[in-house]
Every structure is written in C-alpha cells, then in structure tokens.
Structure 1
Amino acid sequence: MSNSLERLQKVIAQSGITSRRKAEKMISEGKVAVNGKVVTELGTKVTPDDKVEVEGVPLTKEEPVYFLLYKPRGVISSVKDDKNRKVVTDYLPEDTEERVFPIGRLDYDTSGILLLTNDGDFANQLMHPKHEIDKVYIAKTKGIPLKEELAKLTKGIKSDGELLRATHVKTKSVDKKKNTAIIQLTLHEGKNRQVRRMFEALGYPVDKLKRERYGFLDLHGMNAGEIRELTPHEVKQLRHLAEKSVK
C-alpha cells in the first residue's frame, strides 16, 4: 500500500496546476483539502483514491505533455497577460486541452528555446537551484567588449546585490563599423534578465538576445513562433540531466 502513497505537493504538481514549490505554498496557506478536510502539513501523503481539492476545485490528473517553442521576440513568457499582449501559450496547438505553462521564462525581448509542460514535477526538476544544465545564448552587444572584460563574466559579476556568472564566454564575430559584437555565453543559472544585466554591468548593453540551446536541445529546422512536442526519449534525457546535476 505504501508504494501508492505520494506526497501531496507532488500530486498537485503532476496535475498541471502549478509547480511543486508553489503547491507547497498553497498547502501551507490552507488552500488544499483532502477528503473534505483542509491540510496544511507538507509531509502529508495521499493515495490515488483520495479526493484532493485546490481552492475548492477537485484535482483531475492530466496526461503529461511536453513542448519546445521557438519563442519570438515581443512575447510574454506566461499563460496570460493583463495588458493583452501575446503570450507563449498562444503558440500551442489548437487541440491542446491541458493546462500548459512555461518552464522558467525568457524576457519579452529575448527569443529562442522555451520549454512548456503541464508536468509541474518535471518543471521543478529542471528549475532546481542546483541544476547545471547548459543554456547557451547568443548576444549582440552595443560596443565590442575586450577579452579581459569578458573574462569577468566567468569569474562572476555583481548586479543588484547578486553574483551573476557564465560558465563559458566566446566572441563569435565583431563589426567594427557598426561597433557591435556577437558573443556566445553558456549559463547554468536562470536569474531574471541575467545576460542583459551582466553586459550592462560591463558597459555593453545587449541589442538582441537569443537562447539557442537548452541542454542537448536546439532550434535546428525551426522558425520563430514554431512549436513541437518533445519525444519521450528527449523527456527522459532531460530528466536524467536534471537528476544527475543535483546529486
């Protein structure tokens, strides 16, 4: 019987409502009931037969889905926007019925790979603070940073009290006439506006930014605005990457 018991926050996350971390917050705030009784204990475990309600709405388990979107610039990494701007879930196939949300985010003006799912547990794995999944960005800077200046990015650079660091930085090309450079960065972190803040701290604002690789996934054969389902093998590989990196 114990094999069928699952932590309540995991069950909520797997339903596609939210991530495990946010599910924990909802439990603590008394927004979750099991078999009609409000539960606030995070260690609570439930069986498939237990009736779970979140904010009064019964939980229904969806089949997990996983998508890779080539996010265009000028799109919000959210499921809705109070200003009626285009959001990433607008690009889902029309027959998508699951409650899909983005894993992490890309800034409004940043394009590139963004993963979406309804599997909160999977999303939480990939966003674990200790993960070391390579995220490769291509930045076009205003101004041409010197090699020794770029070296500061791998040592770590302070911005708004945070230490921001790239694991690898390489200049791809420079345009001396236009005074611009194309620079490739690899990050393990995913802090808010991280790449832009790092270059701003150096004095070289980013004109364009694209995330071209996430782990082993790339945008080969895709155009901005296109979306595809991840294969079961890709999902398995991503899980393996996340599990390997947090051990």
Structure 2
Amino acid sequence: METPMPPPKSPPSKSSKEPQRIAKLLARAGVASRREVERMIEAGRIAIDGKILDTPATLLKSLHGVTVDGAAVAQPIPAKLYCFHKPAGVLTTERDPKGRPTIYDKLPKGLPRVMPIGRLDLNTEGLLLLTNDGGLKRQMELPSSGVERVYRARAFGPITQEQLEALIEGITIDGMRYGPIDANLERRTGRNQWIEMKLAEGKNREVRRVLEHLGLQVSRLIRTAYGPFALGDLAKGDVLSIRQHDLVKFRQTLK
C-alpha cells in the first residue's frame, strides 16, 4: 500500500512586518514618491537613528527612527486625495534651482505632506490631484490604469473637426507614439478656437505637441478633469479634499 503524499505547502504569505525598501515605506507614508525619496537619500536628507543614509537599498520593517531633514517621520496615515487648481506660471515640483515659484508656494497652510499625481507644465493650469499616498500616485499615473484626463486648449490657426477626429487612432510625432485622443472643436472665433481633448496616457507635453503638430499655436491650456474628479468652479490656488467614501469607491475601479 502506497503512503499518501503530503499536500503541497502553500507559498508563504507576505507579512506586513517583512522588511521593505525604505523608499517604498516613505512613499506610503506620504513623504514623497519613490524616485524623489531616492534623490533625497542622495542629497543626505534622510537618516536612521541619527546616521545619514547613503543607499536606497536599505530594508526596514518600520519607519521607527527614520528622519527627513531632521524631523521624525510619522507612521502612515490613510490615503487622502485633494483637488488643487494650479495657476499658470508655477512648477509642479518641490523646489526649483532657479528659484521659480512651485505649487508648494501656492498651497494653503495646514495641508499634510502631499505629492502631485502626474504633472502640469509651467504654463498649463487647472486640475492637479495631490495625495499623501505613493501607491495611489503610482497607480493613477500608470497608462495601464486607463485613467482619463480631460483638457481644454485655446489655439490659433486653421483646423477642422475631421482632423481632430483622426486623433482617435493615435499619432506618431518625431518617433514618439501617442495613444488615442478624443478631440472635439468646441467653439470658434475667427481663427481662434477652444478644443476639448480626452486622453489616458498623459505623456510629457502631449496636448501641446499634438496641437502644434497640427499647425496650431496653443495660447492657453487647462486640465479640467482627471478620472471622475473635475475642476468645476474651484478657484485658482484653492484645494478641495475628496471624501474618503468617494476615494475608496474610485480605487476599486482602478485596473
């Protein structure tokens, strides 16, 4: 009689106490994105028990004893999401070597440490989402998540609705492939017009490059929505906190 084989062992589950890279832990704690944390480590801004950290490969079970610029890092708090109406003329970055104003100069006092989800270039205004959760930031920025962004562009030059509709097939410009764009001509005054564009990739300066490739001069660009979150009548420089219920519901829809 054969001895029955023992059942196969299940793979060990990943414990929350398992050591993780410090950049991942700090991102979850809302300090900064993983990439920005790595830059902070290179700059000598992060320490453990008073010793300056010199490698992002450090593994930790918790953030106990970790400081950033000499200040202790608090334990992670629940993910939060904010809508910010970014004005034109400010950079989507923490600091600028040239001393130009950044979004952090414009944010109201009292906000927790937040990081932008995606970017808006210097002269683009409108909706910029902010979060304290590095995982949510990364998830929303990934093209595979398929989160739609909506822009309105004021542009000068001749264009037809047929030309805009062709963008739904995507377009290649100087070797760079841009995915499908749902573009519609809203209204026209002389050779100036407002164009609405919906896309899910959000490559660097994508809207401007596509419209300039079509022979248009963009004089104003506004992001009006990111996923289900809309700019609405939020005043420039103001911040709106997304309700926790709405954030949880939205995260359930992400791929």
TM, length-normalised to structure 2: 0.78
SS at match of 1:241: coil
Check 1:38–1:205 CA distance in 2 against 1; reply closer, same or farther (3 A cut): closer
Check 1:181–1:49 CA distance in 2 against 1; reply closer, same or farther (3 A cut): closer
Instruction: Verify: 1:234 aligned to 2:236, yes or no.
Output: no
Tell me if structure 2 keeps the 8 A contact 1:140–1:181.
yes
Instruction: Verify: 1:5 aligned to 2:22, yes or no.
Output: no
> What is the CA-CA distance between 1:218 and the residue it aligns to?
0.8
SS at match of 1:192: coil
Check 1:240–1:89 CA distance in 2 against 1; reply closer, same or farther (3 A cut): farther
* Cα offsets for 1:87-135 (capped at 9, x unmatched): 2122323123x33222111111111110112321221111123120111
* Separation in structure 1 between the aligned mates of residue 139 and residue 82 of structure 2, nearest angstrom: 16
Unmatched tracts of structure 1, length 5 or more: none
Matched residue, 2:164 = 150
Out of 114, 121, 134, the position equivalent to 1:100 is 114
Tell me if structure 2 keeps the 8 A contact 1:126–1:239.
no
* Cα offsets for 1:3-56 (capped at 9, x unmatched): 43363243121122322355578899xx988888977658x5x43376557799
Instruction: Verify: 1:71 aligned to 2:47, yes or no.
Output: no
Equivalences for 1:112-191 in 2 at 5 Å?
112-175=126-189, 178-191=190-203
Check 1:48–1:154 CA distance in 2 against 1; reply closer, same or farther (3 A cut): same
SS at match of 1:102: strand
Q: Whose radius of gyration is greater, 1 or 2?
A: 2
Number of corresponding residues: 238
Matched residue, 1:87 = 102
Tell me if structure 2 keeps the 8 A contact 1:34–1:53.
yes
SS at match of 2:253: helix
Report the RMSD for the aligned CA atoms in angstroms: 3.2
Tell me if structure 1 keeps the 8 A contact 2:46–2:69.
yes
* Separation in structure 2 between the aligned mates of residue 107 and residue 90 of structure 1, nearest angstrom: 16
Tell me if structure 2 keeps the 8 A contact 1:153–1:164.
no
Unmatched tracts of structure 2, length 5 or more: 1-13
* Separation in structure 2 between the aligned mates of residue 115 and residue 49 of structure 1, nearest angstrom: 26
TM, length-normalised to structure 1: 0.80
SS at match of 1:95: coil
> What is the CA-CA distance between 1:208 and the residue it aligns to?
1.1
Bigger shift: residues 76-85 or 57-66: 57-66
Check 1:161–1:58 CA distance in 2 against 1; reply closer, same or farther (3 A cut): farther
SS at match of 2:143: coil
Letter in 2 for 1:149: Q
* Separation in structure 1 between the aligned mates of residue 89 and residue 47 of structure 2, nearest angstrom: 39
Check 1:83–1:156 CA distance in 2 against 1; reply closer, same or farther (3 A cut): same
State the identity as a percent.
Answer: 33
Bigger shift: residues 179-188 or 149-158: 149-158
Tell me if structure 1 keeps the 8 A contact 2:181–2:198.
yes
Instruction: Verify: 1:218 aligned to 2:230, yes or no.
Output: yes
Check 1:83–1:192 CA distance in 2 against 1; reply closer, same or farther (3 A cut): same
* Separation in structure 2 between the aligned mates of residue 80 and residue 41 of structure 1, nearest angstrom: 25
